[in-house]
Amino acid sequence: MFRDVTGQYISSIAGGENVRAFAPNPLPPLPPLDLNGARQALLERATLALGRLDSVGVLLPDPQLFLYAYVRREAVLSSQIEGTQSSLSDLLLFELDELPGTPFDDVVEVSNYVAALEHGMARLREGFPLCNRLLREIHARLMARGRGSDKAPGEFRRSQNWIGGTRPGNARFVPLPPPEVEPCMTALEHFIHGSTGNPDDNLPVLLKAALAHVQFETIHPFLDGNGRLGRLLIALLLHDGGALTQPLLYLSLYFKQHRAHYYTLLDRVRTTGDWEAWVDFFLEGVEQTAQGAVQTAQRLVTLFQQDTQRTQASGRAAANALRVLDGLRQRPLCSLRQLCHNTGMTFPTTTKAMLRLVDLGIVRELTGQRRNRVFVYDAYLNILNEGGEAL
Ligand SMILES: Nc1ncnc2c1ncn2[C@@H]1O[C@H](COP(=O)(O)OP(=O)(O)OP(=O)(O)O)[C@@H](O)[C@H]1O
Ligand SMILES: [Mg+2]
């Protein structure tokens, strides 16, 4: 649906140039979102897929394990959109924190993303509301170390920014002037809490997340990290709104795969008020991504069963190898020292058990060194890595 006015242009100055900055109308859209039959059906399919993902998250033998892996996979993918070159193994190696060498900025950014998401989840579990203060706290973590640390971590911006183009005058889009950021974010907060006073803000959580994400990107409240925070906002909103017990749905891969279209749809909401095209794209992404996540979970369960059986059948002392395998399921990239710690077995026993897994072709040594060796559960990591290849 096209809506004539979806905001106002305010003249502002950026980089010494006069620009037209866009101030969006507060949510919900006016006239209300057109939930025709096809869109309603899409919403139902996406909701169903999300429900399946939620139950898989709960029914898995070890839901924490799945969450651990998924959060890191998401951190890598979401940070890749911003252009970092880190892989999942880089992140896991970095987290081992016993390898020499200074970490490079990319992996620090990915690691910040994990910390930011975990902080958000922990605060929500404490009962803290999903509010602007929490968004700023999460932003502070996201930008705590590495390249973002000079981009006002945890603060709304105080300068005029722009998106696309080489200078403000030829930008694709100029967001709100700085003084308007705070009030606009407060209005978004009211929308998220369903307290705008407008009966149309009482929307299903999936629609709410769809609308809030765009509004957040349009406001662009921070100097940097708006994309990553806006993607985190979706995960947190779905959790907070009761759609997902664990934060297991991430649209980063979908946005990455359809990046040009994703940006075009963001533009169209602003320029023609076409919220519906965006909502359709979003709901399709939710359905596809949730289905993909369920399949990934099923493939991991099958892999673990197969490898357990192969290890069991490997003869004497299989029990020790099984304990190491279990440790690798918790951390698919692991040092012997860490595994000793996790399994409670001695260093020689752990080493022997690990070499058995290497012989079975389940595990591979990564460093080629004699000391401080690191082992990787390849098939597990490969499943998680899918879609995460460089852009
Ligand atoms: N034309 C556009 N209109 C509105 N929002 C846009 C447009 N193009 C990009 N964006 C949003 O801006 C985000 C990028 O902003 P920013 O650089 O602050 O965030 P980031 O987290 O550092 O980057 P990225 O999202 O690339 O990882 C994009 O992810 C997208 O959500
Ligand atoms: Mg950026």
Span 89-108, average pLDDT: 75
Burial zone of 216 (CB within 10 Å; 0-12 exposed, 13-18 middle, 19+ buried)? buried
Span 91-105, average pLDDT: 71
State the pLDDT at residue 219.
98
Rounded Cα distance between 296 and 377, Å, is 16
Rounded Cα distance between 112 and 10, Å, is 35
Span 70-89, average pLDDT: 83
Same domain, 270 and 338: no
Confidence of residue 107 (pLDDT cuts 50, 70, 90): confident
Does pLDDT of 131 surpass 50? yes
Q: Does any domain span residue 155?
A: yes
Same domain, 290 and 210: yes
State the pLDDT at residue 390.
40
Same domain, 323 and 370: yes
State the pLDDT at residue 100.
55
**Which is more confident, 85 or 364?**
364
The least confident of 40-44, 230-234, 340-344 is 340-344
The finding on whether 227 has its CB within 6 A of some atom of ligand 1 is yes
CATH of the domain at 240: 1.10.3290.10
**Among the bound ligands, the one closest to the CA of 161:** 1
Whose tokens are 């169903």? That residue is 48
C-alpha distance from residue 330 to each of 64, 115, 325, 343 (Å): 9, 18, 9, 11
Q: Does any domain span residue 249?
A: yes
Closest residue by Cα to residue 226 from 114, 310, 143, 128 = 143
Tell me the sheet residues that pair with 10.
21
- Two structure tokens written together for 178: 């700085």
The 10s digit of each residue's pLDDT in 366-381 is 888 888 899 999 999 8
Span 71-85, average pLDDT: 82
Rounded Cα distance between 12 and 17, Å, is 8
Q: Does any domain span residue 46?
A: yes
The 10s digit of each residue's pLDDT in 182-211 is 999 999 999 999 999 898 888 999 999 999
Same domain, 150 and 187: yes
Percent of the chain with pLDDT over 70: 96
Same domain, 124 and 256: yes
Same domain, 61 and 146: yes
Span 84-103, average pLDDT: 74
Same domain, 222 and 362: no
The finding on whether 215 has its CB within 6 A of some atom of ligand 1 is no
Same domain, 347 and 200: no
The finding on whether 196 has its CB within 6 A of some atom of ligand 1 is no
State the pLDDT at residue 391.
36
Whose tokens are 């965006």? That residue is 278
Rounded Cα distance between 233 and 247, Å, is 11
Q: Does any domain span residue 15?
A: no
- For the CA atoms of 82, 84, 88, 89, the dihedral, rounded to the nearest 10 degrees, stands at 180
Same domain, 329 and 355: yes
The finding on whether 329 has its CB within 6 A of some atom of ligand 1 is no
Span 274-286, average pLDDT: 98
Same domain, 129 and 103: yes
- Two structure tokens written together for 330: 């918790």
Rounded to two decimals, the pTM is 0.93
Span 81-93, average pLDDT: 81
* Alpha carbon nearest to ligand 1 atom 20, residue: 225
Number of domains within the chain: 2
Ligand 1 binding pocket mutation candidate from 78, 217, 265, 391 (most atoms within 8 A of CB): 217
Task: Output the CA 164–ligand 1 centroid distance in Å.
Answer: 9
The whole-chain average pLDDT of the chain stands at 90
* Alpha carbon nearest to ligand 1 atom 12, residue: 227
State the pLDDT at residue 92.
87
Same domain, 148 and 100: yes
Q: Which domain holds residue 235?
A: 36-159+180-295
Confidence of residue 81 (pLDDT cuts 50, 70, 90): confident
Same domain, 127 and 239: yes
Q: Which atom of ligand 1 is nearest to the CA of 218?
A: 4
DSSP code at position 145 = S
